[in-house]
Structure 1
Amino acid sequence: MTSNSETRAGLTAGVAVAALMAVGSMTSVQLGAALATPTLESFGPMGTTWLRLAWAALLLALITRPTLFSYSRVQWRGAILLGAAMAGMTLCYFQAVIRIPLGLATAIDFLGPLGVAAFGMRRAWHAVWPVLALAGVVLLVHDGSDWTVDPVGALFALGAACGWAAYIVLMKRVGQVFEGLQGLTMSLLVAALVAAPWGLAENGGHIPLPVLGITIGLAILVPLLPYALEMMALRRMPTRAFGILMSAEPALGTLIGFVVLGQALSPAQLAGIALVVIASLGAVAGE
């Protein structure tokens, strides 16, 4: 018979593994966003996003070999809704990135998982973690410089935030009704179909061969690897804790900008990173 202490230890280990998966996902997203900048500028955000989704769906389909005619109505509904959320989230996010600074776009985008975290609170004191995370994100954005924010870019970032909130809830549901990565495969196929008209319209259906090669690698960084990691993470932890943990993404983006691009960190940003890390650790440890 398994003791309560052993069961709790197993649950704690599962949450810790899920947290590592989430960190890996966020790191992949930020690296993918940074490395995609030249392609976004030359080929366009919609075309690049569509090709990334299409390549990710194709690569994962070759691995999982989904049985399209064996899924139930519940499974199809979950995959279609998640795929639509994926397409909307990524199209809006990369439209925002080309208009406003990456850190600001990611910070506004974080309002999505923050909303999920706040909605999922079970106890009053849990509110401390979203509040700390939000304070940290504010410090990350307001680093003492004056930014002229493109209102269209900010609206796209808000659209991405809504998509991200829906994505977190739907990803958990799809992960529960499908085995392995079958649900992710079907959702990515739907996302690629939804994004196709926008991507094709942006470039008149013309896709240069070099772009095809580049977007294969970009598709692995975003969305294939992070979506797979997040689906596995959400099977091991509540959406509330996952939503708060996602607050580390603006901090990771700032750190990656410092390490990879040599962008200096202000004292306010360092304090913001500290608050975000504390909030994320507190949310995970409280499960």
Structure 2
Amino acid sequence: MTTQKSTTAGSPVLASLALLASQISLNAGAAVAKHLFPLVGVEGVTAYRIGFAALLMMAIFRPWRVPLTWRQAGNVAVYGSVIGLMNLLIYRAFSHIPMGIAVAIEVSGPLAVAVWTSRRPRDLAAVGLAVLGLYFLLPLHGKVDQLDPVGVAYAAGAAVCWALYIVFGKRVSVMHGGQSVAWGMTAGALFIVPLGAWTSGAVLLTPSFMAVGLAIAVMSSALPYTLEMLSMRSLSSRTFSMFSSAAPALSALAGMVLLGEHLTPTQWLAIASIVAASALTTLR
């Protein structure tokens, strides 16, 4: 009896550590990917991540054991295409602006969905915080540290894709979690991998680059997904969302430590404002 209570009590702590580990793995994978951009191109790195992740997910979950209906296949096709495009756009953003800022802008997508589907007065405060943060991040002031507008546009596109990912993710949520993600990754790979092969060419077949690409797929997709699935069993949706809302800050820290991307105090305050807005929408 004592052992059972101890295990149950400790499970939320382990789940929180698993979720933190997933964020660390995701950001470490993004940092490795950014180092590979000059060698195989952004499209090539995206092809590695989506392609290898699709192979891993298909091997692990074997989703073909449960046939899809035509309706499910259509939703999965859109869902997977959004996944592929979202990864491509955020990697494009990483190639122009710091990781933390790109993710802060990208988070505005799910934040907009959360606010749009809610009628709580508290969300008005979240909108205000998000707008304030974006105002100080977007290239509107003409300062020396002004961000590259192209990178901001890519991050904004990734934000739109993240919002669509949530919408279509709900439509495939009736399927088994592993099945939906495995098919989704495969659908995304069907157009991302040919795009990467056409853009980068034969350099993608370099064994050393392929090994790094496989590591990126594991760190950025396979491992974070597995750890998040484990953490969901013990954490409430509110706690899970609170952890996820810290993604821009963790990305900024990873960029600073792993890539030397030092932000200005104003940019840190802007990221903190967006993190606070995202966290506020999770309070239910």
TM over 0.5, shorter chain = yes
Instruction: Give the AA of the match of 2:182.
Output: T
Q: Distance in 1 between matches of 2:208 and 2:180?
A: 31
Selected match of 1:62 from 59, 63, 66: 59
Q: For the aligned residues, what is the CA RMSD?
A: 3.5
Displacement of 1:139 in angstroms is 5.6
Question: CA 1:71–1:32 in structure 2 vs 1: closer, same or farther (change >3 Å)?
Answer: same
Q: 2:32 matched to which residue of 1?
A: 35
Q: Is the 8 A contact 1:29 1:223 kept in 2?
A: yes
Q: How does 1:1-287 map to 2 (within 5 A)?
A: 24-67=21-64, 70-136=67-133, 146-174=144-172, 176-206=173-203, 207-227=205-225, 237=237, 242=241, 246-261=244-259, 266-268=264-266, 271-272=269-270, 274-276=272-274, 278-284=276-282, 286-287=283-284
Q: Distance in 1 between matches of 2:231 and 2:131?
A: 22
Displacement of 1:189 in angstroms is 0.6
Could you list the per-position Cα deviations for residues 88-114 of structure 1 after superposition, in whole angstroms to 9, with x for gaps in the alignment?
111111122112332332232222122
**TM-score, normalised via structure 2 length:** 0.78
Which of 21-30 and 124-133 deviates more? 21-30
Which of 127-136 and 52-61 deviates more? 127-136
Could you list the per-position Cα deviations for residues 222-242 of structure 1 after superposition, in whole angstroms to 9, with x for gaps in the alignment?
22334456678899648xx95
Q: Is the 8 A contact 2:36 2:45 kept in 1?
A: yes
Could you list the per-position Cα deviations for residues 106-145 of structure 1 after superposition, in whole angstroms to 9, with x for gaps in the alignment?
2322221222122122322232234334545656779x97
For structure 2, list consecutive stretches of 5 or more residues without a partner in the other structure: 1-10
Which of 196-205 and 100-109 deviates more? 100-109
Q: Distance in 2 between matches of 1:133 and 1:22?
A: 24
Q: Identity percentage over the alignment?
A: 34
SS in 2 for 1:177: coil
Displacement of 1:252 in angstroms is 1.1
SS in 2 for 1:121: coil
